[in-house]
């Protein structure tokens, strides 16, 4: 997992819960990096999972809710860092249906070792989209947060239903309907 995912996460934790919480979740985790991340480095996903688990245990907020809020923050990082990529699109459904065959392809050119999910478009109309998410990281709520923000970015909104295909969340169906 890319360092930027860790650095932005710990900044958000500091912002919302304070530096003590950052120290607490780092020191209670077993981290090969020792909790020292650079935005250009690459670190094991198990480090992110431990940080999330300890933050969840200390705040009582579920990992899914933490990932949802984090994704909403991460979207503003994307807006600042990759404005050109977003400017390619004028419609949220067009953008979301292009993650797999355009957006994440571009991401992989920048970060060849990025760990990205697979999205399969099942059905697409002007106002709706059904997509399957597949990833061993089960970060579907990170996806959900980015989807919500994608609609906001285009001054739009949507109803997004998440249906688990595998109970461990490694395969999920998103049913998206524009409001």
Q: Candidates 5, 12, 55, 66: give the one binding ligand HEM (CB under 6 A).
A: 5
- Per CB under 6 A, which region of 31-39, 58-66, 144-152, 165-173 contacts ligand HEM? 144-152
Q: Torsions phi, psi of 170, nearest 5?
A: -80, -10
Q: Candidates 10, 66, 93, 139: give the one binding ligand HEM (CB under 6 A).
A: 139
**Minimum distance from CB of 71 to ligand HEM (Å)?**
8
Instruction: Please tell me the distance from the alpha carbon of residue 63 to that of residue 67, in angstroms, as a whole number.
Output: 6
- Per CB under 6 A, which region of 27-35, 51-59, 122-130, 140-148 contacts ligand HEM? 140-148
The site for ligand HEM, by CB under 6 A, has a size of: 24
Contact 32, 51 (CB under 8 A): no
Instruction: Please tell me the distance from the alpha carbon of residue 118 to that of residue 19, in angstroms, as a whole number.
Output: 35
Of 39, 32, 40, 34, nearest to 7 by C-alpha is: 39
The yes or no reply on residue 160 touching ligand HEM (CB under 6 A) is no
Q: What are the DSSP calls for 44-76, one per residue?
A: -HHHHHHHHHHHHHHH---HHHHHHHHHHHHHH
Q: Which residues bind ligand HEM (CB under 6 A)?
A: 1-2, 5, 78, 82, 85-86, 96, 99, 103-104, 107, 114-117, 135, 137, 139, 142-143, 146-147, 150
């Amino acid at each position: 997992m890319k360092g930027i995912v860790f650095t932005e996460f710990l900044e958000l934790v500091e912002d919302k819960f304070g530096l003590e919480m950052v120290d607490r979740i780092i020191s209670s985790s077993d981290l090969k990096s020792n909790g020292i991340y650079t935005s250009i480095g690459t670190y094991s996903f198990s480090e992110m999972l431990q940080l999330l688990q300890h933050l969840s245990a200390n705040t009582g907020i579920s990992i899914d809710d933490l990932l949802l809020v984090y994704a909403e923050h991460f979207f503003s990082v994307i807006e600042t860092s990759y404005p050109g990529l977003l400017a390619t699109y004028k419609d949220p459904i067009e953008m979301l249906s292009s993650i797999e065959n355009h957006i994440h392809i571009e991401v992989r050119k920048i970060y060849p070792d990025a760990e990205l999910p697979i999205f399969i478009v099942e059905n697409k109309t002007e106002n709706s989209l059904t997509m399957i998410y597949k990833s061993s990281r089960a970060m579907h709520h990170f996806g959900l947060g980015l989807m919500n923000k994608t609609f906001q970015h285009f001054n739009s909104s949507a109803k997004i239903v998440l249906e688990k295909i595998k109970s461990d969340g490694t395969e999920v169906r998103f049913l998206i309907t524009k409001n």
